[in-house]
Amino acid sequence: DGGITQSPKYLFRKEGQNVTLSCEQNLNHDAMYWYRQDPGQGLRLIYYSQIVNDFQKGDIAEGYSVSREKKESFPLTVTSAQKNPTAFYLCASMARKTGSEKLFFGSGTQLSVL
């Protein structure tokens, strides 16, 4: 049963702490993405990776870091430099096929600050 798995479902961060959100996919997709959802602001792109060992900044990359060591995995670290981390984080993947840019999303991680 193919899909995208995000964990944990809920995560709490203390002041000054780095936290890592996990994202794993078994769809054999080349490209993976991290979005952040805030109320009334839609989905904003944080980072994306179109191939292993390569990634690009999205629109709101400050305070975040990623790695792409394996095709299946694209973890996101929310660093202490991210001053407003409370949001719903969504991981997605896409097969690299022109004319069919369809993203498949995980079920999300809600990050809150203690």
Partner 1 sequence: DQQVKQNSPSLSVQEGRISILNCDYTNSMFDYFLWYKKYPAEGPTFLISISSIKDKNEDGRFTVFLNKSAKHLSLHIVPSQPGDSAVYFCAASPYTGKLIFGQGTTLQVKP
Residues that bind partner 1 (CB under 8 A): 4, 6, 31, 35, 40-45, 48, 50, 88, 90, 92, 94, 96, 98-108, 110
Q: Cis omega before residue 85 (within 30°)?
A: no
Rounded least distance, CB 35 to partner 1, Å: 8
Rounded least distance, CB 10 to partner 1, Å: 9
**Structure-token pair, residue 36:** 């952040």
Nearer Cβ to partner 1, position 18 or 41?
41
Nearer Cβ to partner 1, position 16 or 99?
99
For the chain, state the CA radius of gyration: 13
Cα gap 57→19, rounded to integer Å: 19
